[in-house]
Amino acid sequence: MKEPVRPFLTIAEAGRLIAAKKLSPVELTRALLKRIEVVDPKISAFLLVTNQRAMTAARAAEKAVMAGQKGRLLGIPLAYKDIFETAGVRTTAHSRILLDNVPKQDAETVRRLHAAGAVMLGKLATHEFAIGGPATDLPWPPARNPWDTRRFTGGSSSGSGAAVAAGLALGALGSDTGGSIRLPAAYCGIAGFKPTPGLVSRRGVIPLAPSLDTAGPMAWTAQDCAILLDVLAGHDPADPASVAVPLPGYAKAIEAPLKGMRVGVLRRFYEHDVPATPEMLKMMAQAAATLKALGCRVEEAVLPPVQDFNAVGRIIISAEAYALHEATLHARLSEYSRVFRIRVLAGGLIRAADYITAQRRRSELIAAAGTVFGKFDVLISAPTAGAAPLLAEQRPDEGFAQPFLTTVANVAALPSLVVCGGFTATGLPLGLEIMGPAWGDAAVLRVGHQFEVAAGLRGRRPEV
């Protein structure tokens, strides 16, 4: 274990160095805990830092490495959005409601990561119960964007986006019901992957809207997401939505070149439905050109308007979230944040007929997306209209008034990845979204990885 710890390592780099016994998991973990101590007060990504547990796990990983054990996550320090249950470690969902909640069992995703030798650094900020944020009337402040701390991280996996971008953790777990992995990935300039529903277990992940909830990895690169997915993916009978599918080996699958791949550009989404900024439009044109240069056949693709997906998503999320929280809302209404109340209480007024209409419309939208994938292998779009807005400009009714581009993949049950596609003139990251057909997770990650390598944007980090 010879090399000094270099800041901003990726999971792939750190894994190689650890396997070669050139990097000590103990030294890596110690360096990150020190960095969290210095940087986190500026960005509030962590709700809880588990110093002792992290050092114990790192020592165990180091011992395993020295004994010849192999594994790409062995000794890799990660952190989890605070809706993933962790045995013996407080899991709050960033809410007063769960201030004293100490689960007895790890979420299946956490269990898999720990079994693979990953080191937990702590629990990360989220919007309250993955929907109520950013909020200033909670026990912890909202996370801030490391590229400009006056700006929003995106949510709800806000701490995950901020921690990975600031180099406080090599990877993180996030959850995504309407864009909660991919929005922070876009605004924080990292990679965030929402898998096909059923690929990654949600057991032990505090639900928001079970018919749309997914859990997935967030990291600096698509390659790191693939490495994490290799451990996270797999059938779990304890999650009723989990599906037993053959797993291709994602980290290996992404290495195949893109020549001949059919890429559909959902231009109308960001030119008309949710009009993007000129910088975002330019970035999308450049991204399409990069994919063409990689040998892809790039043509325009058309899906129903974003507003159709968003209406269905918002109605389902509001109704299901209200149903899950109803009893607690009756007993402890004032303990929730105002943002949570605004986004969830109206769900109690939705008629069953309207909820069922939303579910029926969802089936139509899934079918419409399926038709498009007859012509294309992947689709690309802008995940947001532009770069991260100011935190102070965030509205509590966000997502209702202005549709989220990312909700399309949740409603249509598609795997979707956001990678950094470029930067604004002021140095803020802009995201690129890549969607694939159901179970086309490997193809999506492959396009993201090859794009990142060709675009050469991963060397730039925030100065926080």
Instruction: Name the residues annotated as catalytic.
Output: 81, 156, 180
Among 294, 329, 411, 455, binds other proteins (CB under 8 A): 329
- Amino acid occupying residue 69: Q
Q: Which of residues 170-209 bind other proteins (CB under 8 A)?
A: 196-198
Burial of 244 (0-12, 13-18, 19+ CB in 10 A): exposed
Of the candidates 280, 350, 387, 444, which one interacts with other proteins according to CB under 8 A?
Answer: 350
Would you count residue 456 as binding other proteins (CB under 8 A)?
no
The DSSP symbol for 272 reads I
Nearer to other proteins, 101 or 348 (CB): 348
Helix axes 278-293, 441-455, angle to 10 degrees: 100
Is the Cβ of residue 3 or residue 393 nearer to other proteins in the bound state?
393
Question: Helix H segments across 72-165?
Answer: 108-115, 158-165
Options 38-46, 54-62, 308-316, 383-391: segment touching other proteins (CB under 8 A): 308-316
Q: Using CB under 8 A as the criterion, what x/- string covers residues 232-271 for binding other proteins?
A: -----------xxxx-------------------------
Q: Cα(161)–Cα(174) distance, rounded to whole angstroms?
A: 9
Interface with other proteins by CB under 8 A: which range of 13-21, 24-32, 214-222, 300-308? 300-308
The single-letter DSSP state of residue 246 is: -
Which residues, at least 6 apart from 451, have a Cβ–Cβ distance to it below 8 Å? 222, 287, 290, 291, 294, 419, 421, 432, 434
If binding is defined by CB under 8 A, does position 378 make contact with other proteins?
no
The phi and psi torsions of 446 (rounded to 5 degrees) equal: -65, -45
Among 97, 315, 324, 445, binds other proteins (CB under 8 A): 315
Beta 191-194 vs 214-219: how paired, if at all?
antiparallel
Binders in 130-169 for other proteins, by CB under 8 A: none
Q: Does 397 bind other proteins (CB under 8 A)?
A: yes
Query: How far from 113 is each of 76, 91, 179, 232, 436, CA to CA, in Å?
Result: 10, 17, 23, 7, 25
Burial degree of 368 (CB within 10 A; 0-12, 13-18, 19+): middle
In the complex, least distance from residue 141 CB atom to other proteins, rounded to whole angstroms:
21
Decide if residue 352 touches other proteins (CB under 8 A). no
Minimum CB separation of residue 416 from other proteins in Å reads 15
**Whole-angstrom Cα distance, residue 172 to residue 102?**
20
Q: Contacts with other proteins in 403-422 (CB under 8 A)?
A: 413
Comparing CB distances to other proteins, the nearer of 183 and 312 is 312
Q: Which neighbouring-strand residues pair with 191?
A: 219
Helices first, then strands: H and E counts in the chain = 15, 11
* Residue 316 or 420 having the CB closest to other proteins: 316
Q: How far is the CB of 340 from other proteins (least distance, A)?
A: 11
Q: Which residues pair with 185 in a beta bridge?
A: none
State yes or no: residue 357 binds other proteins (CB under 8 A).
yes
User: Residue 343 interacts with other proteins (CB under 8 A)?
Assistant: yes
- Should residue 371 be labelled a site residue for other proteins when binding is judged by CB under 8 A? yes
311 binds other proteins (CB under 8 A): yes
Positions touching other proteins (CB under 8 A) are: 196-198, 243-246, 304, 307-308, 310-312, 314-315, 318, 326, 329-330, 333, 338, 341-343, 345-350, 354, 356-364, 366-368, 371, 396-397, 400-401, 413, 438-439
